[in-house]
A and B are shown apart, each in its own frame.
Chain A
Amino acid sequence: MAGLLLSRLLQAALVMIAVTAVAFAMFRFVGDPVRAMAREDSTPQERAELAQALGLDQPVPVQYARFVGRVARGDFGISYRNQRPVTTLIAERLPATLELVFAATLLALGLGIPLGVMCAIRPDGAAARLVQSISLIGISTPTFVTGIALILFFAVTLRWLPSFGRGDIVDLGFWTTGYLTGSGLRSLVLPSITLALYQLTLIMRLVRSEMIDALSSDYIRFARARGLPKSRIHYVLALRNALMPVITVTGLQIGSLVAFAIVTETVFQWPGMGLLFIQAVSFVDIPVMAAYLMFVGALFVVLNTAVDLVYAIVDPRLRKAKG
């Protein structure tokens, strides 16, 4: 177990070094940080002072070391576009994205697992075939098209649900939440469905194939032969084993959900990090892009490592083999 932990942490550290190096290279070599930050009418001397203040006169390895030092303290520099600290910008936007991702994950798991089980128990039933066909369409439909379709139907035609923004939010000081107000929850419906749909089909297909595998294994045949009730065989014995890969996929997918939120947030003008990032891309706001890259990189590394370790805890075979 200790060996596994160590190798995983080493791997995580390597990835983070690569990610910070890319982020540093972006900041240092794409565009000119001095020109981006100096006033329009600044004199050459002012620019030289700014370059010195930014440490740009130092050798590149020293600059990289300082960059990593600043990042470790949570200082991601100043946004070129609106001259505010990137850390503040991200902190403002983080709750919106995380609340959206959380709602989408709940939705994807809450619907994906039962539908997958249903398709596995009666693979040739009419309902299962319908769900399977819809899931193929779901995988082929881009997120933004789903979002536009939902807006067109539920917001423009039926006028049931709001189509942009977070609605009323409650400020808890360190966190802003839309979960506590009616309009906040209503605003969450369409974006979270849009974001969850792809994940839902993925989880459903995964549960289905894992369940089919589990149901055709020997221990289930014995359980059937012993005359155990069907519900116990399906939901306790088979599902428990089928859910193993679902842990991995769900864990890893939370990271992609944060990234896919870029698209959903654009469609619904959801004031999260994704919208911040896409605006940064259009304005070539390098500090924000670099910070977002590092944030998502760190998130992926943490999730990957956590999933590996949880897996080792849940599955005793892995513990023995590698520990």
Chain B
Amino acid sequence: MKLGRDIDLPFSVALAAAVAIALVLAAAFAPLLSPFDPTDIATYNLADSELPPRWTLDGDPRFLLGTDNQGRDLYSAILYGARVSIGIGAASVLTAALFGITLGLVAGYFGGAIDAAIMRVGDVIMSFPTILLALLVAGLARGLIPQASSAAWTPVILIAAIAIHEWVQYARTVRAATMVETAKDYVKAARVIGLPPTRIMLRHILPNVMGPVLVIATINLAAAVLTEATLSFLGVGMPPTYPSLGTLIRIGNEFVFSGIWWIATFPALALIVLVLAVNVVGDWLRDRFNPKLRGRE
């Protein structure tokens, strides 16, 4: 589908976008698509535990992708798990974007000491890898909030743990763009007629700096889903009763040595396909919005 590279979607990007949308829809409508409710412990039957996928020799026709160690239908668990993964990923991207855009606007518009303070904090945060900071936040939350490992609190902690690192990217981008916009005549004019700074920032500058923010958000969605999966895999994320894809892989990892490969493999495949699809779209968006690359090739 190379119909003039400038405008049209390459086939791989179109395919990736379709896959990503399909996965998000499947996750959103998980209760309608899955034969069992994996969050309802009453539906588990230990007699059905560790059954291989349907097409294998010992497969059970009820369970398409087999069952986990508690007799939970893996196909349903993956659909619900994708729901948890995407939900937490999207929420942390929104949280990070909200904080990052606000701080970036303030830093870029006012400059001076506020700007320096925000950006230095950001520099210190960025000098640590996401996963380390996220683990630290998750660990500290367990010390500070006694119910931190409960299913109700964990998503909140995970979202905070991921967003605490990611906001810096938005802040840096928005700050740079805001500084450029602030110097332009329309902002000067808005100032002269005495509009309040919040109104200038939100109504006049913000719409002009949103382009790059959307690109970062797409790429960050993939990264956030991966970080959540890693935290859950390491045992500080979602509990086995409300598994995300990472939790399912963690459960499966304990059975890999006994030759029970499906519990880890299918959630892992779902995770990779999801992240890959979002990454392909994100890469394409980044290249399209990057003025340095425009006009090349």
Contact = CB atoms under 8 A, between A and B. Distances in A.
A289 B234 contact: no
Interface stretch (B61-69, B102-110, B127-135): B127-135
A266 interface: yes
Given A142-B271, A148-B253, A152-B256, A30 B128 contact: no
Interface string A55-69: 000000000000000
Contacts of A304: 127
A30 B145 CA distance: 9
Given A140-B276, A142-B229, A262-B234, A156 B127 contact: no
Given A145-B268, A148-B249, A297 B233 contact: no
A255 B128 CA distance: 9
A266 B265 CA distance: 18
Interface string B269-286: 001100110011001000
A140 B277 CA distance: 9
Contacts of A267: 253
A282 B249 CA distance: 18
Contacts of B136: 281, 289, 293
Nearest to B265: A152
B139 A136 contact: no
B261 A152 contact: yes
Interface majority SS (helix, strand, loop, mixed), chain A: helix
Contact of A148 (B128, B132, B256): B256
A35 to B, nearest CB: 12
Interface majority SS (helix, strand, loop, mixed), chain B: helix
Interface string A148-167: 11011000100000010000
Contacts of A246: none
A266 B129 contact: no
A15 interface: yes
A256 B129 contact: yes
B276 A145 contact: no
A137 interface: yes
Contact of A142 (B135, B226, B256, B283): B226
A102 interface: no
Given A142-B229, A148-B268, A152-B261, A296 B280 contact: no
Interface size class of A (residues with CB under 8 A): 35 or more
The listed residue with most A CB atoms (<10 A of its CB), out of B127, B235, B252, B261, is B127
Contacts of B140: 26, 30, 289
Nearest to A14: B120
A156 B259 contact: yes
Contacts of A260: 129, 131
Contact of B256 (A19, A151, A255): A151
B222 interface: yes
A18 interface: yes
Contacts of B42: none
Interface of A: 14-15, 18-19, 26, 30-31, 136-137, 139-145, 148-149, 151-152, 156, 163, 255-256, 259-260, 262-263, 266-267, 277-278, 280-282, 284, 286, 289, 293, 296-297, 300-301, 304
* 8 residue pairs, one from A and one from B, having the closest CB atoms: A281-B139, A140-B276, A30-B143, A259-B129, A259-B132, A140-B275, A31-B143, A284-B143
29 contacts: A15-B123, A19-B124, A26-B140, A31-B144, A140-B279, A142-B275, A144-B249, A145-B271, A148-B252, A151-B257, A156-B256, A156-B259, A260-B129, A260-B131, A262-B135, A263-B131, A266-B233, A267-B253, A278-B234, A281-B139, A281-B234, A281-B236, A282-B235, A289-B139, A293-B136, A296-B128, A296-B132, A297-B127, A301-B127
Interface of B: 120, 123-124, 127-129, 131-132, 135-136, 138-140, 142-144, 222, 226, 229-230, 233-236, 249, 252-253, 256-257, 259, 261, 264-265, 268, 271-272, 275-276, 279-280, 283
Given A255-B129, A262-B132, 6 more contacts: A30-B144, A136-B276, A152-B264, A152-B265, A277-B135, A281-B138
